[in-house]
Amino acid sequence: MKKNLTNMNLNELERFITDIGEQKFRARQIYKWISSGAESFEEMTDLSKELRHKLQEVATVCSLELLKVQESASDHTRKFLFALEDGNTIETVFMKYKYGNSVCISSQAGCRMGCTFCASGIGGLKRNLTAAEMLEQVLAASRQAGEKINHIVVMGTGEPFDNYLNLAQFLELIHDPEGLNISYRNITVSTCGIVPMISRFGHDFPQVNLAISLHAPEDSLRSRTMPVNRSYPIDQLIQACREYGRKTGRRITFEYALVKGVNDSLSHADRLSDLLRGMLCHVNLIPLNEVRETGLHGTDRETAERFRAQLEKRGIPATIRRELGADISAACGQLRLG
């Protein structure tokens, strides 16, 4: 098995390079090439032919194979389908905003959380992604789009807190000033609410933004659509969020997908605002995106606006999210296993 050098920080790469009998400074050259998107040793033109050949024999810098690109007709969103080395597939989304370019990465191939409204869990979990496979999604999306990346959202397929150690390694790599140097403040990790990981994440990465997929203000409703709620009910979740806020001073984003006739009434808005009262937070309302298999529908714009106004009236800041890439099934909850 060849070693994937994209998994390594500079220290680890230096160790690897000296272990194969090369001079330590080569590691920095290779590290720079990886961070600037090189997908083969061939491209690393300041290394000798012999060294490039030697590295090819024992290592790789790119394990993803691009299978398909789809570009939205209405915005600049692009969705990429990649094959992993073991044949599993994942999706990644590149988005252009006024404030910069953002990549939405997957953290697992498939997902075992089983939320009923989401396409990503339909085939169950295949496996965790490595840090390199997460980083390579960013590098490949940047290279394909020909654009620099300013923001990362870990909101693709998978539950990042179900793959915490690899997620942590990825965050450290992408933040590394010698690497892509992406500020922690420009990274958002979203969880469906694996409660014990919230305080750990707040401790390990207090500057990374945290988003919580809430989607319902009461247990009966939430447990029906999000099985994770049966293990970690709403009061535990909210308590962990309040604690997180106290410790980090950071504002949490709550994602709330509005499902027509299910969770979008004014009394749902009232219960939601009771739940979040006094917390440093923001609610992102997303009219549910179409996922063929679910038979569920998104709330219409007018009802969504009324829901938002009700939250605001009760002191909870809320916005209705502009969804990018819905025409290529690249919006929230629409990513799947190819």
Q: Which residues are catalytic?
A: 91, 332
Whole-number minimum distance, CB 158 to ligand SAH, in Å? 6
Distance separating alpha carbons of residues 131 and 176, to the nearest angstrom: 13
Distance separating alpha carbons of residues 292 and 119, to the nearest angstrom: 9
What DSSP string runs through 81-115?
Answer: EEE-TTS-EEEEEEEEETTEEEEE--SEEE-SS--
Closer Cβ to ligand SAH, 59 or 226, answer by number = 226
Distances (CA, A) of 19 to 16, 23, 58, 85, 227: 5, 9, 12, 25, 47
Closer Cβ to ligand SAH, 33 or 254, answer by number = 254
For the chain, how many residues are written?
338
Beta-carbon contacts of residue 92 (< 8 Å; ≥ 6 apart): 79, 80, 82, 103, 104, 105, 106, 137, 140, 141, 156
Whole-number minimum distance, CB 211 to ligand SAH, in Å? 6
Closer Cβ to ligand SAH, 35 or 225, answer by number = 225
Cβ burial 261-287 (10 Å sphere, 16+ → b, else e): ebbbeeebbebbbebbeebbbebbbbb
In whole angstroms, how large is the CA radius of gyration of the chain?
21
CA 88 to centroid of chain Cα atoms: 18
Closer Cβ to ligand SAH, 37 or 333, answer by number = 333
Whole-number minimum distance, CB 253 to ligand SAH, in Å? 10
Closer Cβ to ligand SAH, 92 or 190, answer by number = 190
Q: Any idea what DSSP says for residue 259?
A: B
Closer Cβ to ligand SAH, 5 or 155, answer by number = 155
Whole-number minimum distance, CB 237 to ligand SAH, in Å? 12
Sign of CA dihedral 157, 159, 163, 164: positive
Whole-number minimum distance, CB 285 to ligand SAH, in Å? 10
* Per-residue tokens: 48: 């000798």
Closer Cβ to ligand SAH, 30 or 276, answer by number = 276
Whole-number minimum distance, CB 81 to ligand SAH, in Å? 17
Distance from the first to the final alpha carbon of the chain: 26
User: Which residues lie near ligand SAH (CB under 6 A)?
Assistant: 113, 115, 117-118, 155, 159, 190-192, 213, 255, 257, 286, 288-289, 291, 332-333
Distance separating alpha carbons of residues 62 and 84, to the nearest angstrom: 10
CA 235 to centroid of chain Cα atoms: 25
The residue written with tokens 């440093």 in the block is 280
Q: Which residue is nearest to ligand SAH (CB)?
A: 333
